[in-house]
């Protein structure tokens, strides 16, 4: 299945995306995380397209060749609004929304803003209500040391040092069993090396930290919001060195709709690349019953 490129403007940002499949099919919008790019979603795009979907994976705001945020907003709220605007721009309402890492965060926010826009949501490697789950499991904050490091002056130099050696370290730590290709990591390095992209990627974490501190989420229970009124499939790798699999124990409680939490063995953080057939089968089976 051929994967090509397209461009559109959504929520004030000029997006570039990878796409596959018949444009008249139902939309499957696939959102990548960090440190990553849209190419990470290629296997899922091909699988979705083979079953009749119009599958699209945008480079997230700030990740070249998508443009930088004109207003400097890299908050989770902005990411969620991007997802909704992309669905409109691609004539995909209602759609299937799939997100990994930051893409999962964007998916949960989008589902909270407008659950009717999606037939279902799939979140990978990040549970809903991450802060509340981590608050009860202090070991997670050790895994999340990089978030603290990204708040420091000079974090951009740290990320860029040694030809993005930190990216290789994070991939190896977060997905210890993944034999990733040189082409895949070089693609991500090239994305991050584009003007403004490294700073934008760090802003995701800086604005997240400010939001958490302003809401006092580390000091109080943040699970009191209403559950998301959407069906959801949530996937976690049992060997994830970034987000502990135990953080997904209460994930189903975040949804008012049907929710399945699937723990995939022998997979780390980049679950969709490490176990592509297992993930694609689970995702497509889940979506088939809802689209």
Condensed to tens digits (0 to 9), the pLDDT of residues 130-141 reads 999 998 898 999
Sheet with 118-124, edge to edge strand ranges: 4-10, 13-20, 54-58, 27-31, 95-100, 118-124, 232-237, 259-264
In sign, the C-alpha dihedral spanning 83, 89, 93, 98 is negative
Q: What is the pLDDT of residue 221?
A: 43
Model-level pTM greater than 0.75?
Answer: yes
**Helices and strands (H, E) in the chain, number of each type:** 11, 8
What is the domain extent for residue 143? 4-288
Range with lowest mean pLDDT among 71-80, 129-138, 203-212, 257-266:
129-138
In whole angstroms, give the CA distance from residue 251 to residue 184: 30
Q: How much is the pLDDT for 222?
A: 43
pLDDT digits (tens, 9 = 90+) for 24-43: 999 999 999 999 999 999 99
Strand segments (E) across the chain: 4-10, 13-20, 27-31, 54-58, 95-100, 118-124, 232-237, 259-264
pLDDT digits (tens, 9 = 90+) for 105-146: 999 999 999 999 999 999 999 999 999 999 889 899 999 999
Question: In this predicted structure, what is the pLDDT of residue 291?
Answer: 77
How deeply is 219 buried, as exposed, middle or buried, from its count of CB atoms within 10 A (0-12, 13-18, 19+)?
A: exposed
In this prediction, residue 214 carries a pLDDT of 83
Average pLDDT over the chain, rounded to an integer? 95
Residue with tokens 């994976």: 57
Domain count, the chain: 1
CATH number for the domain that contains residue 271: 3.40.50.1820
Q: What average pLDDT does the segment 224-231 reach?
A: 87
Report which of 271, 234, 241, 208 is spatially closest to residue 74, judged by C-alpha positions.
208
Stated as kind and residue range, the H or E segment containing 26 is none
């Amino acid at each position: 299945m051929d994967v090509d490129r397209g461009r559109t403007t959504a929520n004030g940002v000029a997006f570039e995306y990878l796409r596959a499949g018949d444009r008249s099919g139902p939309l499957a919008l696939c959102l990548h995380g960090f440190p990553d790019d849209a190419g990470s979603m290629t296997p899922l795009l091909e699988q979705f397209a083979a079953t009749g979907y119009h599958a699209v994976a945008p480079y997230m705001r700030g990740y070249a060749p998508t443009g930088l945020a004109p207003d400097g907003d890299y908050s989770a709220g902005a990411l969620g609004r991007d997802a909704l605007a992309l669905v409109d721009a691609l004539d995909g309402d209602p759609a299937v929304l799939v997100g990994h890492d930051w893409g999962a965060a964007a998916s949960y926010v989008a589902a909270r803003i407008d659950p009717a826009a999606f037939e279902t949501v799939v979140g990978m490697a990040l549970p809903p209500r991450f802060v509340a789950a981590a608050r009860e499991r202090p070991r997670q904050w050790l895994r999340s040391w990089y978030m603290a490091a990204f708040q420091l002056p000079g974090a951009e130099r740290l990320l860029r040092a040694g030809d993005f050696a930190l990216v290789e370290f994070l991939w190896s730590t977060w997905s210890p069993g993944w034999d990733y290709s040189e082409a895949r990591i070089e693609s991500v390095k090239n994305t991050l090396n584009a003007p403004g992209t490294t700073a934008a990627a760090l802003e995701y974490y800086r604005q997240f930290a400010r939001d958490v501190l302003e809401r006092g989420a580390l000091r109080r229970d943040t699970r009191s919001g209403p559950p998301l009124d959407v069906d959801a499939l949530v996937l976690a790798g049992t060997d994830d060195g970034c987000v502990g699999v135990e953080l997904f124990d209460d994930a189903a409680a975040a949804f008012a709709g049907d929710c399945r939490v699937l723990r995939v063995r022998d997979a780390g953080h980049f679950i969709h690349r490490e176990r592509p057939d297992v993930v694609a089968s689970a995702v497509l089976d889940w979506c088939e019953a809802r689209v």
